[in-house]
Structure 1
Amino acid sequence: MTSSIVVLISGSGSNLQAIIDAVKAEEIPGEIRAVISNKAEAYGLERAKQAGIATEVLSHTDFSSRESFDQAMIRLINQYDPDLVVLAGFMRILSPAFVQYFEGRLLNIHPSLLPKFQGLHTHKRAIEAGEKEHGASVHFVTEELDGGPVFIQAAVELDKEDTPESLAAKVLKQEHLIYPIAVKWVLEGRIQLKGGVPYLDGISLANNIPKLSV
């Protein structure tokens, strides 16, 4: 039976497009059943429509609290019976109840080599810190912001001329490579979580996270 994926977005959806393309190429053994956004103007919804994928909008502004929005989001996601929920630029801090509900099947991609530079403005902070390399990480989502178990990364070198914008563009290209790989690994069962530690093909990644370098 084909695995079911639901993708949550808030913006342009370029990582969503990378996953759509990988599904279309049969590189990912699954089907994107729905793309859900908290913003009606998110261009990612158009990407989904062009690919024939169901779209939903659930605006957080219609709810009095983060918790009530997240409970409504859980109900909406469950209509599509997902094996995996993928955050692709979903700009909301999730409540503990939401994270716990989807524990082990909720992925996020973050634009830094975690655990460095959790939170926002990662590219600017990497430049200011004098880092020699920067990148992106895919991780399971936990209650700690950008603190869940990482199981694949991609690294880029920093140039002296790099600005936050140029660095962001370099990192985004790598995001488009590793996010489809991460989704594929999870759906194929190659990634397993045991005691909060990710294992790839039975080998612990606690101190040896796969990293693509360019």
Structure 2
Amino acid sequence: MSSNKRKIAVLISGSGTNLQALIDALDTPALPDAEINLVLSNRKAAYGLTRAAQANPPIPTAYLALQPYLKQNPGKTREDYDAEVAKIVLRTKPDLVVLAGWMHILSERFLELLDGRKVVEGEEGISPSKPIPVINLHPALPGQFDGAGAIERAFEAFQKGEILRSGAMVHRVVKDVDRGEPLVVREVPFEQGESLEDYEKRLHGVEHDIIVEATKKVLDETKPL
């Protein structure tokens, strides 16, 4: 890993197609001077971990799931798990954290460790000297379908004649789910007669573009003067 490149930590839960879009964009004009130095999954079988391992060069990976963590650590809470996720991320000293299909709502505990409001206890030197931005890809327009199942809920609303389009966005992560400042937003109109699967395929193509665009945008903002 090169020290003069901007470092990105990517959190995933599934197949990792958005991770792949980021990997493919590295060392191109779409995402120059950057490297992914961690892919963390909360699901052991997530194919995104394989994508990271097969990248050239291979990307370091980590795995930590909520329920096994709670079983192995009696008395610990969901917030403690979020703090442990934060520690794994902070050890890699990233410039940016990208949630790319990360199917777990992170609590304030994670965010306050990433932005330096609280210091990591028990580990010297991993607390950030400046806030580390966290961004999330969400398959809906701002304020439209927050939370899980956004694609299916949007498609159902279209079927009922309630909306004509949905879309996807990348936004800053804040305490309130999918309510952070939108960084990149793309509308995707529905087409009469298409299936949910067809719409989802078109939407994913848009997601792959905007996750790269938003990642570059935030990295450009955080470049040292």
State the TM-score, normalizing by the size of structure 1: 0.84
Aligned 1:175-190 pairs, distance under 5 A? 175-189=207-221
**Cross-structure match for 1:87:** 99
Residues 111-156 of structure 1: CA deviation (Å, up to 9, x unaligned) = 0111111112222322332321111000000000111110211122
Count of matched residue pairs: 191
**Cross-structure match for 1:110:** 138
How big is the shift at 1:177? 0.6
State the structure with more CA Rg: 2
Task: Tell me which of 135, 144, 157 is aligned to 2:176.
Answer: 144
Higher share in strand:
1
**Residue 166 in structure 1 maps to residue 178 in structure 2:** no
Distance in 1, matches of 2:156 and 2:61, equals 39
Give the unaligned 5+ runs of structure 1.
192-214
**Cross-structure match for 1:210:** none
Pick which of 28-37 and 41-50 moved more.
Answer: 28-37
Residues 42-93 of structure 1: CA deviation (Å, up to 9, x unaligned) = 0000000111111111122222321111111111111100110010111101
Give the unaligned 5+ runs of structure 2.
71-76, 116-131
- RMSD over aligned CA atoms reads 1.7
State the TM-score, normalizing by the size of structure 2: 0.80
Residue identity over aligned pairs, in percent, reads 39
Q: Look up the equivalent residue of 2:209 and give its one-letter code.
A: L
Q: Matched residue of 1:63: which SS?
A: helix
Distance in 1, matches of 2:110 and 2:102, equals 14
Identify if the C-alpha distance between structure 1 residues 26 and 57 changes in structure 2 by more than 3 Å, giving closer, same or farther.
farther
Pick which of 35-44 and 53-62 moved more.
Answer: 53-62
Task: Tell me which of 28, 36, 39 is aligned to 1:35.
Answer: 39
Q: Matched residue of 2:26: which SS?
A: helix
Distance in 1, matches of 2:222 and 2:200, equals 29
Q: Matched residue of 2:185: which SS?
A: strand
Aligned 1:69-88 pairs, distance under 5 A? 69-88=81-100
Distance in 1, matches of 2:29 and 2:41, equals 25
Conserved 8 A contact 1:100-1:142: no
Q: Matched residue of 1:188: which SS?
A: helix
Distance in 2, matches of 1:30 and 1:169, equals 28
Task: Tell me which of 73, 80, 85 is aligned to 1:68.
Answer: 80
